[in-house]
Structures are given as structure tokens and as C-alpha cells.
Amino acid sequence: MAVGGGIVPGSGGKRYEARVTPFVVIACVVAATGGLIFGYDIGISGGVTSMDEFLLKFFPAVYAKEKNTTGHDSQYCKFENHLLTLFTSSLYLAALIASFFASATTRKFGRKISMTVGGVIFLIGAVLNGAAMNVSMLIIGRILLGVGIGYANQSVPVYLSEMAPPKLRGALNIGFQMAITIGILAASLVNYGTSKMRENGWRISLALAAVPALIMTIGVVFLPDTPNSLIERGQKENARAMLEKIRGTSEVDEEFADLVEASEVSRQVEQPLKTILERKYRPQLVITSLIPFFQQFTGINVIMFYAPVLFKTLGFGDDASLMSAVVTGMVNVLATFVSIFTVDKFGRRVLFLEGGIQMIICQIGVGALVASVFGVSGTGSFSKGTGNLALALICVYVAAFAWSWGPLGWLVPSEIHPLETRSAGQSINVSVNMFFTFIIGQLFLSMLCHLKFGLFFFFGGWVVTMTAFVYFFVPETKNVPIEEMNRVWKSHWFWGKYIPDDAVGLAHHNTTNNA
């Protein structure tokens, strides 16, 4: 043991006793449904904003412009319109702001309360949207949905990471991403159905958001709070009992002592958002801020928000476009399974790096294809063969995202923080994610119009950058107990120098250091 309670990095992590109890699995499945409400919203608005009845009622000017496309002959610019994209992306701004309030709630009242708040506010938003008689109802509803999502996305990943035994943390946490992808797919199927209705199709699409919100809100009532959160709120005995219950053994002394000690450190922290700026949290701060930024700059939401529009731009018919959105939605769900089964075995880095390379290849492929058919002028159309090839490449790209940056974008930031900065870290993650989701949502149609086929190379360039970043700066975190993460940073070639020696001593609480 090094002087000062420090330990030599890499001197071997510990293994807590833990069985995978049905109780913990069910708790995690219920919590993950929080991802459903997020996914449903990502998937629903693109379809709704292409419905004539909806446009006529709320955005008549847009409708007129779309029916009477004068000025722009270029395929690339057919759908450029800021008002409409604002409808899609405003929700993400609301979520951004809400995630900071959620951080305080999550810390003071527990993860469970935050999830409940998220579910209920989202529910009200869904009802307002479904019943919307004017633009204000639509927008207020949209904002409430965003607030709900801010709360859910802040608390659910933290909840999952804390409940899970270390060796299954990745898989259980990815339940959140799984729920997101199922939500997106459900939304594209609903849109496919309601677009065929003569009246009120949009209303049904928007109102059905209440279904995942109900599942989540009711499910959460039956969830226990995490031991970490109970300790954080001074309920040590309950926390110990809960830990025994979720680990399925009474041999939890070591893990419990670590949780208590982490909580004591955390209690001394008055302002987590200020604390996280301290030098010793630099690796977490940088990674927590960059991962969500990079996740959005993979360009995934170009596909998730605008698949129907994108496929129309590429010359697919109306029905084929909506169908293609369903196809990419299915690939997204199925490929997420790959990450669930591999993330704790092969680790986060392998998935990040492989997924990145696969995305780059597809982006270059699609860009080249679009360039060869539409060129710079943007006139022309895909033959059936090239259209299908583009669709296939897009599916391979979506698959790569779905087993790399999709799930890992939520998993990694939720598991790299010590307790004292975990909530704050997660709200930075959520707000950066929401901010850039907003930016992409807002700018994509203009970017397509101005960058043309270069758009695909633009995102490809970002994926090259983020893949290199992961290679050099993101250490492997699989199987590392969440309260022992500092050991990983301490032994990293670059981040090691930011971690004071005593920060890794936490793992060795049985060292006599009660001065």
C-alpha cells in the first residue's frame, strides 16, 4: 500500500459478491422503458410534419410553399424550412434545460422521483398534443414532452448503472437504448398507419405518446430506489437491505462499505456542477461532454428524424419512403441486441472502434453514390438498383451506430463518474446531447441544401475524428465496479496525471485512515 492511502494503479480490482437476481433484471427492464418516451418522440415528428392535414392546420405557409415549389429546382433543397424544423427540434431545448433541474431532484429526492416526474409531465404533454386546437397547445405540449424527456434521460441511465451488478452493467444499461430504438420503430409504424387516414392521423400519432408514458409512470411506482441513492439520502439501513435484495446475497459488506464511503465523499460536495470543474474530474468532464456531442455528429438523427424526407429526396415514392423508415427502424432495434450481448464481454472500446469504421465506410459509400447520381446541381434520380444500394448502405450504417455510439453514448457517461459528480455529469451528458440533437434537427435540411452530397462526407469526417478520440482517450470500463472507476483513470497514459493518488484509495476503505 502506497503512503497516504493510495494504491498502485492496476493492482487488481475487486469482485463484489453478486448474483443476477430476477428482481434486479425486472427493475432494470421497467426503468429502461423510460427510453420509450424518448424514442417515440424522435420517430414521430418526421412523419407527422409530412402529413398534409397537420401542415394545413398549423403551418399553412409551409403547406403552401411545399405544394408550390418555386425557386428551388434542386432535389437537395426541396424540404428546407426553418419553422417546421423548429417544431421538431424545440422539444430538445426544453429537455436540455429540464435536465439541470432533474439533476438536483435526482440527487435530493432520488432517481425514482425524477423518473416519476418525467413520466407525469410527459403524459400531460402528450394529452395536450393529441388535443391540440392551435399552435400554442402544440408548442406547450411539445415543451412539456421535452421536460419529461429531460427528467427521464437524466435519471434512468444513472438508475440502471447503479442497480446493475458490475459484470452486467453494460447489458442492463443498454436496456435504455433498446427502449429508445423500440420507441422509434413503434413511432414509424404508427406513422405508416395514420398517414393512410383521411382525418386526424396526426392527432393519433401525437396522442399515442401517452402509451409509453403510462407504461413508464405506472412501472416506476413499483421500482425500488437504488442503494446508492438511499445512502445519499441518509437511509443506510434501507440501503443495506436493498443491496442484499438486489444482489441476492447477504455477503455485500465490501460493496456496501464502498457505497457508504463514496457517499461520504459526495456529501461534502455542495455544488456538484462547480465541483466537476475541478482538475481531478477532468477526464470525466471531458468525456461526458464530448461523447454526446460526437454521438450527434455521427449524423444518426438525419436518418431518425428525416428518413422519409431523405428517401423522398433520393427519389423514393411516398409509401416507399415511409416503408424505408420502418426498415431502418427495425435494423436499429435488432442491431442493438449485438451490443447487449457483447458489451460486457468484448468491452466498450471494441464496439466504439468497429462501429466507427463501419460507419465511415458507409458514409463514404452513400456520399459517392449521391454525388454520382445528383452531382452538384442536384438534378437527377436514383435508379431502382442504386436506390436499393443506398438503402442497404444506410442500414449497415444504422446497424453500426446501434451497437456502438447509440448505446455507448448513454452507457459510458453514466458509469465513469464518482457518486459526487454522477448526477451533475449525467445532466451535462443529457444537455449536450439535447443541444446538438437540436442543432442537427434544426440545420439538417439547410445543410443538405447547401452541402449537398458533401453532407455525408461531413459526418464521415466527424466519425473519423471521434474514432481517433476513443482510440486515444477513452479507456476500457467493462467489469469495473462503478465506485472504483478512478483506478481506470489513474492508470491511463493521458488522464493519469489528473488523478491525485488518494483518489484511488477509495477502493481500500479498510485501510485505517480515520484521522
Report the residue number, 143 or 182, with the smaller CB distance to ligand BGC.
182
Closer of 89 and 263 to ligand BGC (Cβ): 89
Phi, psi of 464 (to 5 degrees): -60, -50
State the nearest-atom distance from the C-beta of 474 to ligand BGC, in Å. 17
Rounded least distance, CB 175 to ligand BGC, Å: 13
Q: Which is nearer to ligand BGC, 433 or 486 (CB)?
A: 433
Q: Which three cell numbers stand for residue 325?
A: 423508415
Please state the closest distance from residue 430 (CB atom) to ligand BGC, in A: 9
CB of 287 vs ligand BGC, minimal distance in Å: 16
Minimum CB separation from ligand BGC for residue 396, in Å? Answer: 15
Q: Which is nearer to ligand BGC, 410 or 459 (CB)?
A: 410
DSSP letters for 479-509: T--GGGTHHHHHTSTTGGGGS-GGGGGGG-T
User: How far apart are CB 332 and ligand BGC at their closest, in Å?
Assistant: 5
Site residues (vs ligand BGC, CB under 6 A): 42, 177, 180-181, 184, 295, 300-301, 304, 332, 406, 409-410, 433, 437
- Reading the block at residue 116, the C-alpha cell is 416519476
Report the length, in residues, of the chain: 515
Instruction: Write down the least CB distance from residue 267 to ligand BGC, Å.
Output: 32
What angle do the packed helices 384-403 and 405-415 form, to 10 degrees? 20
For ligand BGC, which is the closer residue by CB, 168 or 180?
Answer: 180
Query: 347: Cβ–Cβ under 8 A, 6 or more apart, which residues?
Result: 476, 477, 478
- Classified as helix, coil or strand, 395 is helix
State how far the Cα of 478 lies from the Cα of 167, in Å rounded to an integer.
Answer: 7
Q: Are 116 and 217 in contact (CB under 8 A)?
A: yes
CB of 259 to ligand BGC, least distance (A): 28
- CA gap 396, 455 in Å, rounded: 18
* Smaller CB separation from ligand BGC, 85 or 295: 295
Nearest residue (CB) to ligand BGC, 341 versus 494? 341
Alpha carbons 415 and 397: distance in angstroms, whole number: 26
Task: Specify the residue, 7 or 179, whose C-beta has the smaller distance to ligand BGC.
Answer: 179
Angle at which helices 253-267 and 236-247 cross, to 10°: 140
- The residue among 324 and 332 lying less far from ligand BGC, judged by its C-beta, is 332
Nearer to ligand BGC, 168 or 182 (CB): 182
Q: What CA dihedral angle connects 379, 44, 352 and 358, to 10 degrees?
A: -30
Q: State the nearest-atom distance from the C-beta of 344 to ligand BGC, in Å.
A: 18
The nearest distance, CB 213 to ligand BGC, in angstroms, is 18
Q: Residue 199, exposed/middle/buried by CB under 10 A (0-12, 13-18, 19+)?
A: exposed
Angle between helices 318-342 and 34-48 (to 10 degrees): 160
Q: Which three cell numbers stand for residue 30?
A: 421497467
Classify residue 234 as left (phi > 0), alpha (psi -120 to 50) or beta.
Answer: left
Long-range contacts of 252-256 (CB under 8 A, 24+ apart): 252/16, 252/17, 254/14, 254/16, 254/17, 255/16, 255/17, 255/18, 255/481, 256/227
